[in-house]
Amino acid sequence: MKINKKVNDDFDGLSRKAMNLLLRENQNDEENVVSINPKKLNGNEVPLIKQIRFYLGLLENAGVTIITPRGNIPIAIVKKLCENNPRLSDYLTIFGSTPIFEHYVPEISAMRYFCESTGIVKKRKSRLSLTAKGVEIMNTHQLFDTIFNAAFYKYNWALLDWLQQDDEIGIYGRNYTLYLLSKYGNEWREVSFYRDKYFKAFPKLLKGKIEQVKDSYELRTFDKILSMFGFVSIKKSENKTKLIKATTLFRKYIVIKFYLL
């Protein structure tokens, strides 16, 4: 079967063949259009990786950590994670002296999932502990590679928002968002710029309450996943419009092989 090589305006100038190449995720490094951490950096500058290393250090020092009757990380650890991460500091203000439970902070629940689903942390009955794999990779570039793969390619981003839209929003075509950020992210642009291009490429995702669907893409992709890694900066314009820009970290860790397209 021939794949169309003609440039498609719906795909920001990519041909259908190029888009198919871009969306493929299970490839050898040489064939993959999206190169993740090509310089094998250890992730020390990446907010989520810093938080996970802090969390793993707490578990390593404790030896064995007993989870709560509801199966949550102990309250004391949740508080330390919020204190250690500027992105989560608002929870300290909101809750004050009231205990902060893990399920109140979606990003901590997500972090825990990343660690346990990749075999870095083991949960056995009511206990959490660092695994041999966790000890081996926690201070290497493999921690970033493992966590990014789990968060970006394996995790259900819908768990990070409250809009209850289709699980595929943002997840389907996620490499296309990386492509757009790599191509256009040097300048501050309204979030609608990326949102409109995404849904122009994948219009079948626009169903139901259209504005909520668009908000869900924005929330999951930029406010949550990419922000957790420090890959986007977000600010408000003078007229209160949300603006997005790719960070230096994004350029270091995500490389699009445009020559393959």
Beta-bridge partners for 66: 127
Q: What is the mean pLDDT of the chain?
A: 91
Find where tokens 């794999």 sit: 133
Residue-wise pLDDT tens digits, 140-173: 999 999 999 999 999 999 988 877 778 899 999 9
Residue ranges in 122-173 assigned as alpha helix (H): 132-137, 141-148
The predicted model gives 61-72 an average pLDDT of 89
What does pTM read for this prediction? Answer: 0.92
What integer pLDDT is reported at residue 166 of this predicted model? 85
Residue-wise pLDDT tens digits, 234-261: 999 889 899 999 999 999 999 999 888 7
Give ∠ CA 37-39-42 in degrees, rounded to 5. 70
Residue-wise pLDDT tens digits, 135-146: 999 999 999 999
SS3 call for 165: coil
Beta-bridge partners for 243: 190, 235
Answer whether residue 2 shows pLDDT above 70.
no
Top CATH class of 47-154 equals mainly alpha
- The answer to whether 9-32+165-260 and 47-154 have equal CATH topology is yes
Q: Copy the structure tokens of residue 101.
A: 């439970």
Work out whether strand 121-124 and strand 127-130 pair parallel, antiparallel, or are unpaired: antiparallel
**Amino acid letter, residue 137:** I
The predicted model gives 18-44 an average pLDDT of 86
Of 124, 73, 119, nearest to 100 by C-alpha is 73
Element housing 65 (H / E): strand 65-66
Residue-wise pLDDT tens digits, 16-27: 988 998 998 865
Is 244:188 a contact under the CB 8 Å cutoff?
Answer: yes
State the distance between the two ends of the chain, measured CA to CA, in whole angstroms: 19
What integer pLDDT is reported at residue 1 of this predicted model? 40
Q: Which CATH number fits domain 9-32+165-260: 1.10.238, 1.10.10, 3.40.720, 1.10.150?
A: 1.10.10
Rounded-to-integer distance, Cα 61 and Cα 90, Å: 27
Identify which has the larger pLDDT, 91 or 177: 177
What integer pLDDT is reported at residue 5 of this predicted model? 60
Rounded-to-integer distance, Cα 36 and Cα 19, Å: 18
% of the chain exceeding 70 in pLDDT: 95
Answer whether residue 57 shows pLDDT above 90.
yes
Q: How many residues comprise the chain?
A: 261
Domain boundaries, the chain: 9-32+165-260, 47-154
What integer pLDDT is reported at residue 95 of this predicted model? 87
Q: Copy the structure tokens of residue 96.
A: 């004050």
What does the DSSP 8-state code read for residue 143? H
What integer pLDDT is reported at residue 165 of this predicted model? 75
Q: Copy the structure tokens of residue 95.
A: 């809750």
